[in-house]
Amino acid sequence: TTGVYSTHAAKALPEKDMTSDRLLGLRWDWVDFDRACLRLPDSKTGAKIVPLAAAALALLSSIKRASPFVLPSSKTDGRIVGLQKVWVAVRLRATALAKQRAIEADEPVDRAPDLSRVRLHDFRHSYASFAVADGATLFVVSKILGHKQARTTEIYAHLHDDPLKAVADRTGARIADALRLGSGRERLRTAEVVQLSKHVSKRPVTSS
């Protein structure tokens, strides 16, 4: 039914960088299971290859192929037209879960996030944010999102600072530890050399 396919679409959106319109129009002949990617024709920036994560592949494999469209309509021979109804239900459910978790954590309910205004398109921003925070370069993210101009992706630049700073902090701490340990070893090694030199200086010199 359309409801089932709408649910599939709602699950797929957080995992992919695609717009909801592109996802709803997805066709089976665009899905390359062997190479784990989508081959999208006629995108705004030309032909586009979108890599598929294991979770996305598993979701696609679970969908029955009853139409040329991955997410077909139950009323026509075409695709699903929109996700508004199912998306409203998803937002309400997500907001309720957020409040429930706040209660379970003994936190103020009014501090729980209100997800009732989250847009479907926001998943593109979330996808990019997670990718950048996980260490992906802005260049790679721009390619995945299909941005023609690098500056379009620069809105995520501040997120790239967090993993970089984390690496810098960890590396700096390890170097500091190594220097502290090394300084102790150096003192010990110097003392050993002094003692050895004294011992050697007392040995008689013999001709070979």
Paired with 46 in beta bridges are 43
Q: Which of 22, 53, 76 is the last residue of a domain?
A: 76
In a domain, 38, yes or no: yes
Segment 183-200 shows an average pLDDT of 48
* Residue 70 scores a pLDDT above 70: yes
Mean pLDDT across the chain: 71
Does pLDDT of 15 surpass 50? no
pLDDT at position 10 over 60:
no
Residue 9, pLDDT score: 47
User: Count of domains in the chain?
Assistant: 2
Of the segments 9-13, 71-75, 154-158, which one has the largest average pLDDT value? 71-75
Together in a domain, 17 and 68: yes
Could you tell me if 72 and 88 lie in one domain? no
Same domain, 72 and 6: yes
**C-alpha pair distances (Å), 5 with each of 14, 23, 89:** 15, 11, 15
Instruction: Supply the pLDDT for residue 44.
Output: 62
Whether 16 maps to a domain, the answer reads yes
46-51 and 37-43 as β-strands: parallel, antiparallel, unpaired? antiparallel
Question: Is residue 93 scored above 50 in pLDDT?
Answer: yes
7: in domain: yes
Residues in the chain: 208
pLDDT band with cut points at 50, 70 and 90 for residue 85: confident
Residue 135 forms part of a structural domain:
no
Based on the domain organization, do 7 and 35 belong to the same domain? yes
pLDDT digits (tens, 9 = 90+) for 118-171: 877 777 777 777 777 777 777 777 777 777 666 666 666 565 556 656 666 677
Place 6 in a pLDDT band, splitting at 50, 70 and 90: very low
Find the domain containing 40 and state its range: 2-76
CA–CA separation, 58 and 37 (whole Å): 12
Domain end call among 47, 76, 105: 76
pLDDT tens for 35-52 read 988 888 866 666 678 788
Shared domain check, 55 and 89:
no
